[in-house]
Amino acid sequence: MSHRSKLLFSVLCCALLSGFNTTATADSSLGTTTSNGLFGVILPEAASTNQLQTLEWSTNLVDWEPVAREYGFDWANTFPHALPISTGSVNQVLTDPTDEPTRYYRTVSSTTHSLNNSNAVSRFLQQATFGPSFSMITNFPGLGNPDLNNPPYTNYLEWIDAQIASPTRSHRAFWRERSNPAFTNNPANAHLYEVGHNSAIGQQLTYYWNDGSGSSPYKADTNDAINVGRKYNDVLFDNENTKKIVWYQMAITADDQLRQRMAWALSQIMVVGENGSNQTGYSERWLTYYDIFVRHAFGNFRDILGEVTYSPHMGRYLTFDSNKKADPGAGTFPDENYAREIMQLFTIGLWELNQDGTPKLDAGGNLIPTYDNDNITEFAKIFTGLKRQAKRDNTENADNYIDPSAIRADWHDLTAKTLLDGSTQGPFPETEAGVRADIDGLLDHLHNHPNTPPFIARNLIQRFTVSNPSPQYIFDVAQAFIDGSYAGAGSGMRGDLGAVIKAILLHPEARETALANDTAHGKLREPLVRLMNFARAFEITSSQTYGFFPFHKLEEVFAQSPYDYPSVFSFYLPDYQPIGEILDRNLHAPEFQIHNDVTALSLPNAIWWLVYEGIEQDGTTGIGQRWYSQGNLDLTVETAMAADSVALLDHLDLLLTAGRLSPVNRATIATVIDAMPDGTEAERKARVQRALWLFALLPEFNVLY
């Protein structure tokens, strides 16, 4: 198998660098004195379309650092700088308040080619979905509109609105319809998608059951009457993989792609992972929790915060299920886990922020903590008295991790609590209503905290578009969170995630291709998303497994798979900085935390398997669990055009690199495949497969910019 792992994969060492050709000129910027007596730089007027202007500074005329940029809009700061810039497109001034004795400035301009509409749509879908398909591109609204890529990006907004309005594909409902034939529809839990088994579909997915003998086996395909005469379907997966198979099915085939991508992003903020959890093989409790993010993907952040807090699944993971008030006599105190993580990871973060995501500083220039250990101890009292509800039927397992937690008022600390701003809430009566008022009061307090909009805005921006959003980008997305609206439309309620995702995807910083010339712009794509891009672009199918796609142990292949978060901190930290130029420039590249000398090879190897062998395993190598393929890419269209390398590369460029394939890399791939024979269908397919695998190595595929 050595030929499958001999890769020269160094393309990602500089993955934040653009693949576009640029031209650059430097000139001296004129200085001025501002009204407050500080030094200022007079900035050039707005550039033409597809031109990026960057203001750089230096103290030695050798090392230059970008501090501001303009790409057809007003001048704005570049991360991590936030120097004051006057508004207006003529004679804008950047103020330098530092006491640096000598600071030199220059402006650098560069121009890039624009993308045609199809490629621009493909780039948008790389951000907003698990990968574009040819039909999604060709059916995109306004594809022929000459103003498609001009602000206010009306046709992109039309697509987002259609996605928000599309039917929700629930993970739990999908599994219940295809698993235990005894499941019945429960109208009382309709909002949780507690639907019944669909006899017209039959039993296709594994589930946990108790046969009455005291054992608790996993139930697989019963080969009931509905399946008689069907082609053999291998569904003998261990139950731990079933929830992942549902996830892959939604990522690859669901029509509500933006909803599914938003759910994936939110699940990486409020994490419940297999590592550190019990009962990882009980699919329903995991699917029910994940559905919180699916259902509320375009709803309100406060609703998500509430459902996560009252989720017994989260309660078990962060150890506040059955949490009780302090008993000094027994020497026991409330568990502090959730009180800490709901602040650090779910809402406000560690340091006080301005709305643009830049840190607030005290008089001494130091970061200001958002909370301290006393706050954690105080809030731990609030998360007492929650306990999972009594066992019930019509679920996979009698232990009830499905319904919101029950209230035990006698376990709850009902005393008055001091909040982060010094105000107090309570005391409350020893009733269920009193407990809810205490918990909900703190959730409202965190939701309304000034840190929450920029903290959540930055986290979500990083998941969709760029790793280092400018202060203005964060400010604008945070404003949509605060206002509950985007471009005048929305619920008008703080925390409207529909408005937030519009602000993320329709911001000029996400749409304008001139920023491809900014070496800090863009992001390394998640390895799982890159694999799904191939599966979606070439319409993977399976004659086995009822059309499911049983990718196997991808977390061992490239360190990422559904539900396999290594900790509550997700797969990577938002502030991760790999050693080298990125760290030297104080930039962030979260996905590089799981990009190392092993995964840098194993991800393209995984794509090699998908292209050449499908979802298969050979010994200990591969991406499946069977020696035969359980899912293959459909390369019929590509094989038909393979004799024409120009047409083939145009097609693959559209689907995989969104029109950004550089001339040099295009010529390299063309040279390789043109040297291959094309007389038979098998030979033409081999040309396609070689081209696909080479595309997997390209920086233009692995990086969004």
Query: Each residue of 303-338: pLDDT tens digit?
Result: 999 999 999 999 999 999 999 999 999 999 999 999
Structure tokens at 657: 């690199």
Does residue 427 have a cis bond before it (omega within 30 degrees)? Answer: yes
Contact 94, 68 (CB under 8 A): yes
**Chain-centre distance for alpha carbon 135:** 23
Question: Are 87 and 204 part of one and the same domain?
Answer: no
- How many angstroms separate the CA atoms of 687 and 18, rounded? 27
Instruction: Indicate if the pLDDT at residue 422 is higher than 60.
Output: yes
> Which carries the bigger pLDDT value, residue 618 or residue 456?
456
Strands (E) in 512-658, as ranges, are 523-524, 617-618, 621-622
- How many angstroms separate the CA atoms of 544 and 534, rounded? 19
Residue 175 is predicted with a pLDDT of: 96
- How many angstroms separate the CA atoms of 437 and 431, rounded? 10
Question: Are 575 and 698 part of one and the same domain?
Answer: yes
List, in sequence order, every residue forming a beta bridge with 417; answer none if it has no partner.
425
Residue 234 is predicted with a pLDDT of: 59
CATH code for the domain in which residue 35 is found: 2.60.40
Residue 60 is predicted with a pLDDT of: 86
Question: Are 291 and 389 part of one and the same domain?
Answer: no
Q: Please give the tally of structural domains in the chain.
A: 4
Q: Give me the amino acid identity at 436.
A: R
Q: Please say whether the dihedral angle defined by the alpha carbons of residues 211, 213, 218 and 219, taken in this order, is positive or negative.
A: negative
Residue 343 is predicted with a pLDDT of: 98
In a domain, 493, yes or no: no
- How many angstroms separate the CA atoms of 264 and 171, rounded? 12
Instruction: Indicate if the pLDDT at residue 376 is higher than 60.
Output: yes
In a domain, 491, yes or no: no
pLDDT band at 17 (very low <50, low <70, confident <90, very high): very low
Question: Are 361 and 231 part of one and the same domain?
Answer: no
Instruction: Indicate if the pLDDT at residue 29 is higher than 60.
Output: no
In a domain, 356, yes or no: yes
Does residue 550 have a cis bond before it (omega within 30 degrees)? Answer: no
Instruction: Indicate if the pLDDT at residue 236 is higher than 70.
Output: no
Residue 47 is predicted with a pLDDT of: 72
Residue 212 is predicted with a pLDDT of: 53
Q: Across the beta sheet with 25-28, what order do the strands follow? A: 25-28, 104-111, 51-58, 65-70, 76-77
Residue labelled with tokens 């398909």: 133
- How many angstroms separate the CA atoms of 176 and 160, rounded? 29
Q: Give me the amino acid identity at 66.
A: P
Taking only the tens place, the pLDDT of each residue in 478-491 is 999 999 999 999 99
- DSSP β-ladder status, 417-418 and 406-407: unpaired
Q: What's the Cα-to-Cα distance from 647 to each of 23, 468, 639, 640, 679, rounded to whole Å? A: 29, 35, 11, 10, 17
> Can you tell me the mean pLDDT for 569-578?
97
Instruction: Indicate if the pLDDT at residue 104 is higher than 60.
Output: yes
Average pLDDT over the chain, rounded to an integer: 90
Does residue 334 have a cis bond before it (omega within 30 degrees)? Answer: no
Burial profile 32-64: b = 16 or more Cβ within 10 angstroms, e = fewer: eebeeeebbbebbebbeebbbbbbbbeeeeeeb
Residue 2 is predicted with a pLDDT of: 32
Question: Are 412 and 553 part of one and the same domain?
Answer: no
Residue 365, C-beta contacts closer than 8 angstroms, at least 6 positions apart: none
Contact 402, 183 (CB under 8 A): no
Structure tokens at 137: 């591109």
Residue 96 is predicted with a pLDDT of: 80
Structure tokens at 96: 């330098």
Neighbouring C-alpha atoms within 13 Å toward the C-beta of 593: 16
**Domain end call among 89, 111, 133:** 111
| DSSP H or E run through 692 | helix 681-695
> Can you tell me the mean pLDDT for 121-142?
98
CA-based nearest residue to 307, from 386, 418, 396, 411: 386
In a domain, 62, yes or no: yes
In a domain, 128, yes or no: no
Instruction: Indicate if the pLDDT at residue 358 is higher than 80.
Output: yes
Question: Are 273 and 355 part of one and the same domain?
Answer: no
DSSP alpha helix (H) spans, 552-622? 554-558, 581-584, 599-612
- How many angstroms separate the CA atoms of 269 and 301, rounded? 12
CA-based nearest residue to 491, from 307, 292, 300, 295: 300
Among left, alpha and beta (phi > 0; psi -120 to 50; other), residue 10 is alpha
**Domain end call among 415, 432, 447:** 447
> Can you tell me the mean pLDDT for 351-358?
97
Structure tokens at 180: 């235990």
Taking only the tens place, the pLDDT of each residue in 628-677 is 889 999 999 999 999 999 999 999 999 999 999 999 999 999 999 999 99
- How many angstroms separate the CA atoms of 379 and 335, rounded? 10
Taking only the tens place, the pLDDT of each residue in 278-309 is 888 899 999 999 999 999 999 999 999 999 99
The full length of the chain comes to 705
Instruction: Indicate if the pLDDT at residue 12 is higher than 70.
Output: no
Domain containing 419 equals 337-447
Instruction: Indicate if the pLDDT at residue 590 is higher than 90.
Output: yes
Contact 95, 75 (CB under 8 A): no
- DSSP β-ladder status, 51-58 and 104-111: antiparallel
Residue 323 is predicted with a pLDDT of: 96
Contact 702, 661 (CB under 8 A): no
> Can you tell me the mean pLDDT for 121-141?
98
Q: What's the Cα-to-Cα distance from 156 to each of 350, 382, 503, 525, 645, rounded to whole Å? A: 35, 43, 12, 21, 31
**Domain end call among 67, 93, 111:** 111
In a domain, 332, yes or no: no
Q: What percent of the chain has pLDDT over 90?
A: 76
Residue 101 is predicted with a pLDDT of: 57
Residue labelled with tokens 């501002």: 34
pLDDT band at 219 (very low <50, low <70, confident <90, very high): low
> Can you tell me the mean pLDDT for 207-219?
59
Q: What share of the chain is helix, strand, coil (3-state, %, to 5)?
A: 40, 10, 50
Strands (E) in 345-462, as ranges, are 386-387, 406-407, 417-418, 424-425
In a domain, 322, yes or no: no
In a domain, 488, yes or no: no
